Amino acid sequence: MKIFWYDDNKNNFNYFEEIIKDGSIDQTSLIQNIIDSHIGEEIKVPTGTYLITHLNIPNGTFLRGEFNTIFKSNLNSNIIRILSNVNCIIENIHVLGNNEIIRPSIKGNQVGWYLDGCLSVTLNNCSASGCNDSGIKIKNTGAQSAPQYYKIPILNNFKAYKNYIGIKNDVRGEYSQLNGCIAGENYIGYFTGGGNNMASNCQFNRNQNGARVVGGTTDGINYPNNSHASFTGCQFNHNIEESIRFENVEVGYMLNGYQFFDGDMIFKGKTKGVVINGSEGGTWSINSDSKEQNMIANSFFYTKPSGNWNTTIIHKNNIGSGAIIEDNNSPSFNEKSLIFKSRYDLFKTSNRGINSWKSGGPYIFWGSKDIVVPPNKYVGYILVRLENISTNFEKECFLAAIDASSEICVEILAESYFPEIINLDGVNYALIPVKKQFNTHIFFIAGVNRGSSGNEAGMAYGRVSSTNNFAFFSDKSPSLEQKIILNTNSINCELIVCQDYR
């Protein structure tokens, strides 16, 4: 195996002495000949603008530009080509495309740096602008070959601006590292459809769209390995439309120390397992049509996000004035009570005096103002704890949603409903489906018919002992628009609100 390195004591000849450096005449064949003739050497490329069509970089190339070394091309195709099994180092070279336009919206075929099936490629302080496909495109670097775990494309301080896509990990563009890269004033700052990529301390600011992470079949293209990758300490600030979009990302993505301001966060298709942790931002919205679970945790929001997101996004421990603080106000949970731990939002009533239930007492449970579900929070199911249940007797359930401010019953969700009885950690629960959102703060009342009784009629809600002490009691079920006045002084209950149940 041939290894090449840079030697400070080695004489470096000016191979470009006779090359025209003002961008007026095509110099492709002369420059290609220099590269091909000096494999394994450091080739210095002096400051200047070199007009080319394209260059093929062979294995063992070491190119080093100076300040303002530019390769300019009018070819509407791939300009610098680094192809199968190539190992090379290139430094301080800028690729200039046909037309530098701020945030161009029309896609073409010009690619500044084209990496396809390459191995140990390192680009230091290189850049690209004015390319109507991508400033840099990386593909086929992760076809499950062993060398790809340690022979990887590395971009250090790469800059991409005024391209259609700044930096693109295309189909099977995997195992690349982006360190301190900047993509700005592109239509899309960073696009990745390949897995196992890592971006750290990068800035994707002032693009039309900051970043897109895609997988599966998206826009008619199949991206077979699209996720389990990460952003660490990256900025997505002041992008005009989208801060970041996840589309059909099925195996998860990790973002730590993510900073964003302006631009929407989008979750689409089959996206699941995206975790955003320890981040901050504001003036934004979240929109999702994904039915899977994703998480934003331990993050600070300057403004409360708008948009359609409550069906899929879990918020925990978010802090700050105007932020999603309702979850922080939920009662604390111990490990046992957190039945859907780390997967679903839970709201749970206080558990007051279960032992006060008398043997053979009523099979009655309730929901109360201990739980207030915020507006537009998706509710999947209600679990009502059952005490002294007789398994051979079908229990009819009732469930209603109550407006928290007016205490008016706004919706009857289940009446004379025979629930599924589930057992969790030795405790029986009635499982009542809700599967909807509400546009105001609401709480629930739920009841389970206690069966035959000589001195009680119909449904009773929240009885705490054999005495006539009820949270709510009537000879009939609560009705729509009825004001519900609860007795909350001596309640014995457990009700859980969860986003979903598996």
3 state DSSP class of 139 = strand
User: Hey, what amino acid is at 18?
Assistant: E
The H-or-E segment that residue 29 falls in is helix 28-37
The backbone region for 48, taken as left when phi is positive above 0, alpha when psi lies in -120 to 50, beta otherwise, is: left
- 401: its two tokens: 């949603």
Q: What is the pLDDT along the chain (502 residues), one digit of tens a residue?
A: 333 444 444 445 688 988 999 999 999 999 999 999 999 999 999 999 999 999 999 999 999 999 899 999 999 999 999 999 999 999 999 999 998 999 999 999 999 999 999 989 999 999 999 999 999 999 998 866 656 677 889 999 999 999 999 999 999 999 999 999 999 999 999 999 988 899 999 999 999 999 999 988 888 888 886 668 899 999 999 999 999 999 988 888 899 998 988 888 888 888 888 888 888 887 677 777 776 677 787 777 776 667 776 555 655 545 444 333 334 333 333 333 323 322 234 444 443 333 322 223 333 334 445 567 777 777 778 877 765 555 555 557 788 888 878 889 999 998 878 888 777 767 777 788 888 888 888 888 877 665 444 333 233 333 333 444 445 555 566 789 988 776 555 444 567 777 665 4
Q: Is 361 left (phi over 0), alpha (psi -120 to 50) or beta?
A: beta
Tell me the CA distances in angstroms from 344 to 39, 184, 379, one per residue in order: 57, 36, 10
Q: Are 199 and 180 in contact (CB under 8 A)?
A: no
> What is the rounded distance in angstroms from the CA atom of residue 109 to the CA atom of residue 94?
18
The pLDDT value recorded for residue 181 is: 98
DSSP state of 473: E
- Token couple for 441: 């703060």
Which is it for the CA torsion 72, 75, 76, 79, positive or negative? Answer: negative
CA 437 – CA 71 distance, rounded (Å): 56
Nearest CA to 331 out of 453, 209, 495 is that of: 495
pLDDT of residue 297: 77
Tokens of 428: 């029986």
Separate counts of helices (H) and strands (E) for the chain = 1, 44
- What pLDDT is stored for residue 455 in this prediction? 35
Cβ partners under 8 Å of residue 396, min gap 6: 416, 417, 418, 448, 449, 459
What pLDDT score does 322 carry?
Answer: 36
* Whole-Å CA distances, 210 to 113, 170, 184, 257, 340: 20, 16, 8, 16, 33
Q: Which long-range CB contacts under 8 A does 464-468 form with residues at least 24 apart?
A: 464/353, 464/356, 464/357, 464/490, 464/491, 464/492, 465/356, 465/357, 465/358, 465/361, 465/490, 465/492, 466/358, 466/361, 466/362
Which amino acid appears at position 157 of this protein? N
**From CA 445, how far away is CA 366, in angstroms rounded?**
5
According to the model, what pLDDT value does residue 291 have?
Answer: 67
pLDDT of residue 9: 44
CA distance 493 to 48: 78
Tokens of 412: 């009857």
143, 273, 255, 252: which is closest to 199 by C-alpha?
255
Which residues have a Cβ under 8 Å from the Cβ of 33 and sit 6 or more positions away?
none
Residue 447 is predicted with a pLDDT of 73
Dump strand ranges (E) for 126-285.
127-129, 134-139, 154-156, 159-161, 165-169, 177-179, 182-184, 188-192, 198-200, 209-214, 216-218, 221-223, 230-232, 235-237, 242-247, 253-256, 259-261, 264-268, 274-277, 280-282
Distance of alpha carbon 132 from alpha carbon 336, whole angstroms: 55
- What is the homologous superfamily of the domain 16-183 according to CATH? Single-stranded right-handed beta-helix, Pectin lyase-like (2.160.20.10)
Please report the pLDDT score of residue 353 as a whole number.
32
Determine contact, residues 266/245, Cβ cutoff 8 Å: yes
Alpha-carbon gap, residue 4 to 203, rounded angstroms: 32
Q: What is the Cα–Cα distance from 130 to 101, expressed in whole angstroms?
A: 7
Residue 32 carries which DSSP code? H
Q: Could you tell me which of 304, 445, 465 has the C-alpha nearest to residue 369?
A: 445
Max distance between CA atoms of the chain, in angstroms, equals: 109
Both structure tokens of 329 = 């106000």
What is the residue-wise DSSP string for 345-398? -EEE-----GGGSPTT--------TT--BPTT--EEEEEEEESS--TTS---EE
| For the chain, domain boundaries | 16-183, 208-329, 346-498
